[in-house]
Amino acid sequence: MQRSDFQYHLPGAQIARHPCSVRSASRLLCINPESDELRDGHFSDFPGKLEPGDLLVFNDTRVIPARLLGVKESGGKVEVLVERITSEHEVLAHVRASKSPRPGSRLLLDNAINAHVVERVDDLFRLAFTGEDTMLELLQKHGHVPLPPYLCRGDEPQDHERYQTIYAKNPGAVAAPTAGLHFDDAIMQQLQLRGIDMAFVTLHVGAGTFQPVRVEALENHVMHHEAYEIGTATCQKIAKTRHRGGRVVAVGTTVVRTLEAAMQGGGLPEPHQGETNLFITPGYEFRCVDALLTNFHLPESTLLMLVCAFAGHERMMRAYQHAIAKGYRFYSYGDAMFIESRHTS
């Protein structure tokens, strides 16, 4: 398929630039796997879409305040977006400036942090930081919430809580696993009362998730790498779910990529810690995930391509047109969609 097959027009007013006042107050579009019926509802309906015996899998990554602002030695403004912390005092980062900094130069960030530009690594820069504080400590003191660029605004106090899932645990992501932003304590309690089992994986979402696909032929796109981990307990729960005939329900595309990447040759995922650059496009044969909760994604994005692979391209593009016509809110702080099971077009 071609990149242009995943294009659609979204009115700017339907980009959710702020979260709902209540996490679970968002809307939920459900795709019926039998009839192709599209059902409009609310996220509070979601627990009722699951059955005892289903397994809900979450991504417990924690977003770090990865955006730093400052100046170069020349005085020019610079913005640093940490892609990955590689040691206590070094990072790989995106650096935006009128002119890229040279290796050996220095940056002054937040009028308090000295960073040394070590080298350029493809589209990223390796930066070394001085002082006793670790990188996580520096970011907690001086960093900003790395909101998606399409929000076109700086972070605000509420973003420190709302651009984070309530179950976030392992710091390392520079973008939220947004399907999980709809869950609050009330929804989690309802799921427990219904006897829905839960498990967790970790995939540290990178800024590459927002990078556009620049080539027309999808097979020529180079997918970014992201660090992930799936433990023994989660793998055992998936095996038990399969045995009892339940569904593995992924909360978000990051969980899909983690579970599918962990399918290392066998019929079930295996415990693993590493990196994945798995690029899922229509024609991919899913081996682990049976149903998917997801947000609405950018046109021509790898995330939209993954969802089209899961639900069928024609079906998903129809669903997006329905959501636009019905006034759904899109992207990270927007509404959700539940694809009840895979059903190819």
What are the tens digits of pLDDT across the range 268-295?
899 999 999 999 999 999 999 999 999 9
- Residue 11: CB atoms within 10 Å: 9
Q: Which two tokens stand for residue 206?
A: 């990178």
State yes or no: pLDDT of 344 exceeds 50.
no
The DSSP result for 164-188, as a single string, is S-TT--EEEESS--GGGGG--HHHH
**Residue 345 pLDDT class (50, 70, 90 cuts):** very low
For residue 224, the model assigns a pLDDT of 87
State yes or no: pLDDT of 342 exceeds 70.
no
Q: How far apart are CA 246 and CA 254, in angstroms?
A: 21
| Residue found by looking up tokens 């990865």 in the block | 66
Region 116-121: mean pLDDT is 95
For residue 35, the model assigns a pLDDT of 76
**Higher pLDDT, residue 74 or 198:** 198
- Residue 53: CB atoms within 10 Å: 14
Report yes or no on whether pTM surpasses 0.85. yes
Region 325-338: mean pLDDT is 98
Structural Rg of the chain based on CA atoms: 20
- Residue 218: CB atoms within 10 Å: 18
For residue 266, the model assigns a pLDDT of 67
Q: How far apart are CA 195 and CA 306, in angstroms?
A: 29
* Residue 92 and residue 84 in contact, taking contact as beta carbons nearer than 8 Å: yes
Q: DSSP letter at 3?
A: G
**Residue 71 pLDDT class (50, 70, 90 cuts):** very high
**Higher pLDDT, residue 266 or 89:** 89
Q: How far apart are CA 53 and CA 145, in angstroms?
A: 37
Q: How far apart are CA 213 and CA 120, in angstroms?
A: 22
State yes or no: pLDDT of 259 exceeds 50.
yes
By CB atoms closer than 10 A (0-12, 13-18, 19+), residue 195 is: exposed
By CB atoms closer than 10 A (0-12, 13-18, 19+), residue 10 is: middle
**Residue 33 pLDDT class (50, 70, 90 cuts):** low
Q: Does domain 67-144 have CATH number 2.40.10.240?
A: yes
Which backbone phi and psi does 173 adopt, to 5 degrees? -85, 150
Region 209-226: mean pLDDT is 90
Q: How far apart are CA 230 and CA 201, in angstroms?
A: 5
* Residue 191 and residue 56 in contact, taking contact as beta carbons nearer than 8 Å: yes
Percent of the chain with pLDDT over 70: 97
Class of domain 3-63+160-339: alpha beta
* Residue 24 and residue 43 in contact, taking contact as beta carbons nearer than 8 Å: yes
- Residue 296: CB atoms within 10 Å: 27
Q: How far apart are CA 62 and CA 163, in angstroms?
A: 10
Percent of the chain with pLDDT over 90: 88
The mean-pLDDT minimum among 8-22, 136-150, 200-214 falls in: 200-214
| Ranges of each domain in the chain | 3-63+160-339, 67-144
Question: Across 36-89, where does the E strand assignment appear?
Answer: 38-42, 55-59, 61-63, 67-72, 77-87
**Higher pLDDT, residue 265 or 326:** 326
